[in-house]
């Protein structure tokens, strides 16, 4: 039996705790067994290929990113309302236009003596929703003089004044004179106004003292012929 001295025995007893430690190069446990994180429970998660698995809920209004459907399309499918057409203009302004209208487009002056002037105002109204522009009023002959309002706002009225000179040579005849109104009305850019009537003898004279202009050419009954342009 080997007899150990007391100093040697003391050294062995002190070295025993160090001999129970793991060998060099092995990792020590990072946490106690009671602090270890629990393993995830995969039994409740649906399989990736399971068709019955519900789709995950995304943020409200996000739509389906995989199918390319927009939130508006999702709302359309839910409400049943038709989706707006792509490229449709929003807030498109309606087309505005003037609209010319006359109270009367013909005036009958009745019987008037030769050598006088007949004047009449044709009243026009802009029934459209844009400004009415009167470019020109063209008389049919030199015996007719016109004046007119050139700018008429929507809902307002203006006038075209026509003056017809009844020459003495026209005594005993009827007259028909016209003027043409040119405007920016897209539906009726040209309108014709008429003035008609009878021409009597000059004041203080009788018809037998007046020689109709066509009688000199040998045409009988010229007094019944109308004077027109």
- 2-56, pLDDT tens digit by residue? 555 566 666 677 766 656 555 544 454 444 444 555 555 555 555 555 555 555 5
Residue 158 lies in a domain: yes
Residue 69 lies in a domain: no
How many angstroms separate the CA atoms of 144 and 193, rounded? 12
In angstroms, the Cα distances linking 136 to 113, 144, 163 are 30, 14, 16
Domain containing residue 144: CATH number: 2.60.40.10
Would you place residue 95 in the very low, low, confident or very high pLDDT band (cuts 50, 70, 90)?
confident
As beta bridge partners, residue 193 has: 179
Residue 172 lies in a domain: yes
Residue 77 lies in a domain: no
Residue 104 lies in a domain: yes
Residue 27 lies in a domain: no
Residue 47 lies in a domain: no
Q: pLDDT by residue (tens digit) across 70-87?
A: 555 455 445 444 454 454
Give me the number of domains the chain comprises. Answer: 1
Element (H, E) at 198: strand 190-200
Range of the domain at 173: 100-209
CA-closest candidate to residue 202, choices 109, 110, 112, 108? 112
Residue 136 lies in a domain: yes
How many angstroms separate the CA atoms of 41 and 64, rounded? 29
Is the pTM above the cut of 0.85?
A: no
Element (H, E) at 174: strand 174-183
Determine the pLDDT at residue 88: 44
């Amino acid at each position: 039996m080997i007899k150990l001295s007391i100093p040697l025995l003391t050294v062995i007893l002190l070295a025993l705790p160090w001999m129970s430690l793991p060998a060099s190069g092995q990792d020590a446990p990072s946490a106690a067994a009671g602090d270890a994180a629990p393993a995830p429970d995969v039994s409740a998660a649906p399989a990736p290929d399971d068709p019955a698995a519900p789709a995950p809920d995304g943020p409200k209004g996000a739509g389906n990113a995989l199918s390319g459907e927009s939130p508006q399309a999702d709302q359309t499918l839910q409400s049943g309302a038709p989706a707006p057409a792509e490229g449709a203009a929003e807030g498109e302004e309606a087309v505005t236009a003037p609209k010319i209208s006359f109270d009367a487009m013909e005036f009958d002056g009745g019987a008037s003596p030769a050598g006088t002037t007949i004047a009449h105002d044709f009243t026009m109204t802009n029934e459209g929703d844009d400004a009415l522009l009167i470019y020109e009023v063209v008389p049919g002959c030199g015996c007719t003089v016109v004046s007119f309002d050139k700018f008429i706002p929507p809902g307002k009225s203006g006038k075209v004044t026509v003056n017809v000179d009844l020459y003495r040579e026209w005594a005993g005849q009827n007259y028909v004179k016209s003027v043409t109104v040119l405007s920016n009305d897209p539906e009726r850019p040209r309108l014709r106004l008429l003035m008609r009537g009878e021409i009597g003898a000059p004041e203080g004279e009788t018809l037998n003292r007046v020689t109709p202009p066509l009688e000199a050419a040998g045409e009988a009954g010229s007094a019944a012929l109308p004077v027109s342009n």
